[in-house]
Amino acid sequence: MYENNRYLYTPLELTKKLLAFNTINPPGNERECAHFIGDLLQSGGFEVGYYEFDEQRTSLIAVKEFSSDRAPICLSGHIDTVPLGLSEWSVDPFSGEQDDDKIYGRGSADMKGGLAAMITAALRVAEMSGGEAGILLVITAGEENGCEGSEYLAGLGTALGRAGGLIVGEPTGNYPILGHKGAFWLEAVTTGVTAHGSMPEQGDNAIYKAARAITRLEKFDFNVAPHPVLGVPTLNIGTITGGINFNSVPDRTTFGIDIRTIPVQNIDRIHQDLQEYLGEEVELHTLTAAPAVSTQPENEWVKEIFALTEGYIGERPVPRGVSYFTDASALTAAFGDPPTIILGPGEPELAHKTDEYCCISKIEAAAELYFKISKRWCRL
Ligand SMILES: [Zn+2]
């Protein structure tokens, strides 16, 4: 039925098409790109639904089920990219310029190359017949600003459907990664009483309170054993704002605490421990609580993927994790914790950089890998 599908692109052609949509977040504007992808998948036999967490902020869910006996495999990627940055680019970030094995553009590595590889692989699987289970694509908006799109989808209840295994196409150089740390972001607030800067004894300085708290936080001990793959949790103070003018006693200071968690940690417990550690001087407000993701290396599906990947990366993969978080935080939990792998063609060190590029050979290899993994899942 789809042999004459005029919309079928090679992974490279599709990467170029996706790069041409400006989906820099903020503002994102993913709608047009999402509908382009949705039309493509629909013409390949997928059932497609669109979900907007805000105007123009479109995610899509596409499913092709061969049978309902087993849950589908889910491939997931995000449409949005980070801004271009302050340095000038030496190439056009949107036209997909090529040089030997490189295709340049904002989002080529993170992660339109991966998205193109997933979509082309999924279309190839969908045109086969006689399979079992199926293939589900969850393509999100708003990932770069804290996984807004995937969290919205996870909160919709049944919209996501089922998944028995999840692959997120973030840049890993096609290395299969078994999980990542979670992100627990808190805004800390200290308050005081304002007074004239020349009479500080009449005020109560909120910056001193914040400074005391921050100095203590540098030595905060999570008191947990390192995770065998993800290591230890970390804490960083990323922002601080306090005071209105030079010559007043500041009555309010806020600072941002960025904690990266490992699977054994409980968010409420960390919150409670921090509150006790810092005392009543500091108010804590949760901004983001994205759980860590960790898949057992002994899982049969993981072993299968490790074996398949070996031929493409030239080495036997070993269990590894990463410290950044992905849409898997929301999706894995929403799917009821299926085994989850992060695997995509981009090089992690090129993500978010000026003159970002992705190796064309890796995009093609990822498309083959996703195809083989999905084909096996669907017993085709
Ligand atoms: Zn990404």
121 Cα to the center of ligand 1, angstroms = 19
Question: In the CATH scheme, what is the code of domain 185-290?
Answer: 3.30.70.360
Q: How far is the centre of ligand 1, averaged over its atoms, from the C-alpha of 305 (Å)?
A: 21
CA of 148 to the centre of ligand 1 (A): 13
Protein residues with C-beta less than 5 angstroms from the ion ligand 1: 110-111, 170
pLDDT at 4: 45
Q: How far is the CA of 278 from the centre of ligand 1 (A)?
A: 34
- What's the CA-to-centroid distance between 246 and ligand 1, angstroms? 40
Residue 143 alpha carbon to ligand 1 centre in Å? 7
Residues 6+ apart with CB under 8 A from 246: 197
Phi, psi dihedral angles at 126 (to 5 degrees): -65, -25
For residue 41, what are the β-bridge partners? none
DSSP 350: G
Intervals of the chain under pLDDT 50: 1-4, 6
**What's the whole-model pTM score?**
0.91
Q: What pairing do the DSSP bridges indicate for beta strands 182-191 and 234-242?
A: unpaired
Whole-angstrom CA distances from 351 to 97, 171, 333 are 17, 7, 25
pLDDT at site 7: 54
Burial 120-136 (b: 16+ CB within 10 A, else e): bbbbbbbeeeebebbbb
Distance 286 CA to ligand 1 centre (A): 23
The alpha carbon of 1 and the centre of ligand 1 are apart by a number of angstroms equal to 34
Task: Tell me how far the alpha carbon of residue 87 lies from the centroid of ligand 1, in angstroms.
Answer: 20
CA of 130 to the centre of ligand 1 (A): 34
Q: If you measure from the C-alpha of residue 30 to the centroid of ligand 1, how many angstroms do you get, rounded to a whole number? A: 14
Q: Does domain 11-180+292-377 have CATH number 3.40.630.10?
A: yes
- The boundaries of every CATH 3.30.70.360 domain in the chain are 185-290
Domain with CATH 3.40.630.10 in the chain: 11-180+292-377
